[in-house]
A = this chain, B = another copy of it.
Amino acid sequence: MKKKINIGLFGYGCVGQGFYKVLQQSPNTNAVITKIVVKDKSKSRDLPVQQFYYQPSDILLDNNIDTVVELIDDANAAYDIVKSALKLGKNVVSANKKLIAEHLDELIELANTQQVTFLYEASVCASIPIIRNIEDYFKSDHIQGFQGICNGTTNYILSRTAQGLTYDKALSEAQELGFAESDPTLDVDGFDAKYKLAILLKHVFGVSAKPEDIFNCGIRHIKPAHVNFADNYEGKLKLYSYAKQVEDKVIGFVAPFVVPLSHPNYNVENEFNAVNINAKFAHEQLFQGRGAGSVPTASAVLSDVQAFQTGYKYDYSSTKYNDNTFTNDFYLKIVLSAHDESSLDAIKFEHTAYSEVEGKLAFKVGWVYFRNLIKVDFNSRSNMFFAVISEDFKLRLSEVEHAVGEALV
């Protein structure tokens, strides 16, 4: 019989309730929720009031509790809880992507020092076992890049705009269905997708990139003409948490991509998440599942709790073996559009394949230097939009010229 796990649960919102429920229905997981700490004393809940506590110390200082499951919204409060729990020698499961993206290295070190375990599968694509597979199964392979659809809100909106809805209509629909918050900024501007990217960058490439050093452009300013543009390329617009190794450098950012019909991600629709991994030996691997939702997210939390029982830890082997440097110094091929042709000049093109005016929008397709591109705050520029149209990235301008020359031949 495996050791019984005594859990202190922080948060009893959507995922917290889901976790309570799945644990109740999992008699084979020898774990019990001993206490639940919540913030709001006055809220009515579906469990007896005696189960709830209101001070973090009620769990943190309880020596019978060996495991903390942190499922609250507030990343700052979560940081304090997770840090204290690790310091006090408790194993921790968290689903808070912002907290993890911002403090991962510190928390890994703390867990190592304290000889406890910190797992967070639910923080990236909820139910999809992406961190676990990267850590374990693909440890012996060499992952060279990934294209992640890691945000269900934007994927739902993009699925609907591809079907002809305007962005505003698609967003309201997503809000009505509970797929989007009333303030959708974190989702539609690509922040949520960026936190997940930062976590994956660590596990895949051993790269510690701070969220503020990773570029994120969302989909707030998408217009039907952009959908048509992608369609003319036999593609669809998808918001990617994207990373790729180019020589000894790693590039990573969040932006809309034109995903071609032939790519497995082309068919990932609505609120689904997916991560497509390109591994040296295994080649393309697609993991698709629910990236949100009370019970699916809780399933990943439960799996982490179960993993404690077998002594499982993340190995971070990519950190040991890789010597990759994160860089924003590269060239990429994009389509840029603006309400007037002169706005296109905000970004210097190293090479322009073509430019055209279609209806009220001007389009320009060609190669740009990434550092020039990210000077523009696209999320706040309602008259501009861009999408990446090729996964062929170059570290040097001479290679761009070569690629352009080849294309012309």
**Residues of B contacting A296 with CB < 8 Å?**
281-283
Interface readout for A279-321 with B: 1 if CB under 8 Å, 0 if not? 1111111111110010110111011011100000000010001
For residue A89, CB closer than 8 A to chain B, the reply is no
**Residues of B contacting A132 with CB < 8 Å?**
136-137
With A129-B138, A129-B285, A281-B302 given, name 18 new contacts (CB 8 A): A26-B140, A28-B140, A29-B140, A128-B285, A129-B137, A136-B136, A139-B306, A140-B305, A140-B306, A141-B302, A141-B303, A266-B267, A274-B286, A281-B295, A281-B298, A283-B296, A284-B288, A287-B287
**Residues of B contacting A139 with CB < 8 Å?**
303, 306
**Residues of B contacting A141 with CB < 8 Å?**
299, 302-303
> Min CB distance, A207 to chain B, in Å?
17
> Min CB distance, A311 to chain B, in Å?
10
For residue A264, CB closer than 8 A to chain B, the reply is yes
When chains A and B are docked, how far (Å) is the Cα of A287 from the Cα of B275? Answer: 10
> Min CB distance, A350 to chain B, in Å?
35
In the complex the two chains form, is A290's CB within 8 Å of B282's CB? Answer: yes
For residue A133, CB closer than 8 A to chain B, the reply is yes
Query: Looking at the complex, which one of B290, B305, B306 makes contact with A283 (CB distance below 8 Å)?
Result: B290
For residue A50, CB closer than 8 A to chain B, the reply is no
**Residues of B contacting A337 with CB < 8 Å?**
none
In the complex the two chains form, is A303's CB within 8 Å of B140's CB? Answer: yes
**Residues of B contacting A267 with CB < 8 Å?**
264, 266-267
For residue A22, CB closer than 8 A to chain B, the reply is yes
In the complex the two chains form, is B283's CB within 8 Å of A286's CB? Answer: no
In the complex the two chains form, is A280's CB within 8 Å of B137's CB? Answer: no
Give 7 closest A-B pairs by Cβ, nearest first.
A281-B299, A140-B306, A286-B288, A267-B267, A282-B299, A127-B282, A129-B137
When chains A and B are docked, how far (Å) is the Cα of A289 from the Cα of B286? Answer: 6
**Residues of B contacting A274 with CB < 8 Å?**
286
In the complex the two chains form, is B287's CB within 8 Å of A286's CB? Answer: yes
**Residues of B contacting A295 with CB < 8 Å?**
281, 283
For residue A398, CB closer than 8 A to chain B, the reply is no
Of all chain B residues, the one with the shortest Cβ separation from A126 is B282
When chains A and B are docked, how far (Å) is the Cα of A283 from the Cα of B294? Answer: 11
Query: Looking at the complex, which one of B25, B282, B303, B321 makes contact with A289 (CB distance below 8 Å)?
Result: B282
Q: Which of A25, A282, A299 has the most CB of B within 10 A?
A: A282
**Residues of B contacting A321 with CB < 8 Å?**
28
In the complex the two chains form, is A302's CB within 8 Å of B28's CB? Answer: no
**Residues of B contacting A288 with CB < 8 Å?**
264, 284-286, 288
